[in-house]
Amino acid sequence: MRHETDPKALLRGVGLRVTAPRVAVLNAVTAQPHSDVEDIATWVRSELGSVSTQAVYDVLKACTAAGLLRRIEPAGSPTRFEARTGDNHHHLVCRSCAAVVDVDCAVGHAPCLEPSNNHGFAVDEAEVVFWGLCEKCTPAPATAP
């Protein structure tokens, strides 16, 4: 997991040019973890003015490829991005409101799970998504009259 938080230093550290859209995208994803592209683009436009959605996609692709961002794709949800990388954490997803939260690796060493048969793969990461209802969406227990 990275410890540097300055977006300019992060970009320089992975050999990417420092540009206003890249800094704004990193700031957006850091401020709003698990955001989708539309939410990120809205944030970036509020900071910089007119920026195309394609430019936001391009920045997300470059920053993900460089390891600055992580792309997650919960089934039935739009692709989301987060700045927490490199620690093999997992996610909880609410089936009702689609809220996404981080959950640390529960047991053992990364990749947290070992397949029963690795079929010759050198496994270096496991992706686990826990599904359920968040606290806001869980119905209150019925009380007896």
The CB-based long-range contact list for 66-74 (8 Å cut-off, 24+ gap) reads 66/14, 66/15, 66/16, 67/14, 68/2, 68/10, 68/11, 68/14, 68/16, 68/26, 69/26, 69/29, 72/34, 72/100, 74/98, 74/100, 74/129
Q: pLDDT of 77-135, one tens digit each?
A: 889 999 999 887 888 999 889 889 998 876 656 556 677 788 888 887 777 888 899 99
Q: How many CB atoms lie within 10 A of CB 11?
A: 20
* DSSP-based three-state secondary structure for 94: strand
Ranges in the chain annotated CATH 1.10.10.10:
7-72
* Number of residues written out for the chain: 145
- Nearest alpha-carbon partner for 13 in 85, 63, 73: 63
* Res 76: pLDDT: 85
Regarding pTM above 0.85, the answer is: no
Q: Where in the sequence of the chain do the CATH 3.30.1490.190 domains occur?
A: 87-135
| pLDDT for position 125 | 74
Q: pLDDT (tens digit, 9 = 90+) per residue, 15-55?
A: 999 999 999 999 999 999 999 999 999 999 999 999 999 99
Asked if the 7-72 domain carries CATH number 1.25.40.20, the reply is: no
CB 133 within 8 A of CB 105: no
pLDDT in tens, 120-145: 888 877 778 888 999 999 887 767 66
Of 23, 54, 17, 22, the C-alpha closest to 37 is 54
Integer Cα distance of 131 and 64 in angstroms: 25
CATH code: domain 87-135 is: 3.30.1490.190
Question: Concatenated DSSP letters for 34-50?
Answer: TEEHHHHHHHHHHHHS-
